[in-house]
Chains A and B, each alone.
Chain A
């Protein structure tokens, strides 16, 4: 990711409410609307799940300039998710719900450039996670 993309990611993350996980809880509600079949894959207590995802996003934002470290951790995460039964097709509604969460929370402050940056970041995150799963369970 180039420096402009990193700046847009950080600027948008900085606009999100501090210490408030409700936008991420809304993300899960939206995800389950878009893909009800993924609901059983997640912890029943969405508040805890939202806190974990907020922490993961904050970690990603903090490590944007260390792509190798980021990729290594994302692959480990992807391998674990594969073990929980997550399928490749399910990454799409997650991305859609993520962009929707920023749009809904930030309104007009979420610029097209910020959206473009998050699309690129999510493509990177999800592709590294998929790669981790493939490496863990290679096909014959």
Chain B
């Protein structure tokens, strides 16, 4: 079931009228602001500055380095949402504010069991550097983050990082259906990345195996370009680009 704007807004209104949010006026505005932006443009980037000006009445010369109020409030909002969903287990929609950004994710609880049991859940452990220089692992870590970020924007996918997988393991949650593994060899500015997407349940077949080559001129631009290629290849391998809702047969 696709979540529509009305369903998300209805859930948001319910949450904001609860005792947990009723007196937390700024955090309510924070949540409404990021939800509105995400509903209008799911690919949007929400910056700390935007929230500071729109929600916390900061002036245009606001400097997040000397006033980390948005980072403080984002951490508190994540805690408040966790508490809200803990005391309100019957909701049909869940709003998540993943760490590392301010763009919320909307999760339909009705489709969550299907996703968790047999759907499009992907475990993404950190990509491995095969280079002897430990500093090259930084490139792999950044690339892993970029790939997770891009995949997570596709709401048909449930992307699980290694830390989330450890938490799921402890809490008895279900495991991912797919595993995305990659290793990187580096020689000077040249890199060669080998990637495998495997179905780890029901037989363990390889759904995608690819090699990507690139030259690092600009580190971030290279990571972003590679992450986009990887995201597109995964989307194609899972037929998400054809059906709109994903084919996993």
Contacts and interface: CB of A to CB of B under 8 A. Distances in A.
B75 A120 contact: yes
Interface stretch (A18-26, A48-56, A57-65, A95-103): A95-103
A21 B33 CA distance: 38
B25 A95 contact: no
B68 interface: yes
Given A92-B56, A92-B72, A139-B19, A127 B67 contact: no
Contact of A99 (B24, B72, B74, B83): B72
Interface of A: 34, 87-89, 91-93, 95-96, 99-100, 103, 115, 119-120, 122-124, 126-127, 130-131, 134, 138-139
A34 B56 CA distance: 11
B23 A34 contact: no
Contacts of A138: 19
A131 B83 CA distance: 10
A139 B22 contact: yes
> For chain A, what secondary structure do more than half of its interface residues adopt (helix, strand, loop), or is it mixed?
helix
Contacts of A139: 19, 22-23
Give the top 9 A-B pairs by smallest Cβ distance, nearest first: A95-B72, A123-B75, A119-B75, A96-B69, A123-B79, A123-B76, A99-B68, A127-B79, A88-B24
Contacts of A34: 67, 69
Interface in B101-137: none
A103 B76 CA distance: 20
Interface of B: 19, 22-27, 56, 65-69, 71-76, 78-80, 83
Contacts of A103: 65-66
Given A123-B76, A124-B79, 11 more contacts: A88-B23, A92-B56, A92-B72, A95-B73, A95-B76, A99-B72, A100-B66, A103-B65, A119-B72, A119-B75, A127-B79
Given A34-B67, A99-B68, A100-B67, A126 B22 contact: no
Contacts of B56: 92
Nearest to A95: B72
Contacts of A100: 66-68
Given A96-B69, A119-B71, A89 B24 contact: yes
A26 to B, nearest CB: 13
A91 B69 contact: no
Contact of A93 (B19, B25, B69, B79): B69
A107 to B, nearest CB: 12
Contacts of B78: 123
Contacts of B74: 119
B71 A92 contact: no
18 contacts: A88-B25, A89-B24, A92-B76, A93-B69, A95-B68, A95-B73, A99-B68, A99-B72, A103-B66, A119-B68, A120-B75, A122-B72, A123-B76, A123-B79, A127-B79, A130-B24, A138-B19, A139-B19
A122 B77 CA distance: 12
Contacts of B19: 134, 138-139
Nearest to A131: B83
Which of A100, A115, A139 lies at the interface centre, i.e. has the most chain B CB atoms within 10 A of its CB? A100
Contacts of B27: 88
A96 B73 CA distance: 9
A86 to B, nearest CB: 12
B72 to A, nearest CB: 3
Contacts of B75: 95, 119-120, 122-123
Nearest to A33: B67
Given A122-B75, A124-B79, A92 B25 contact: no
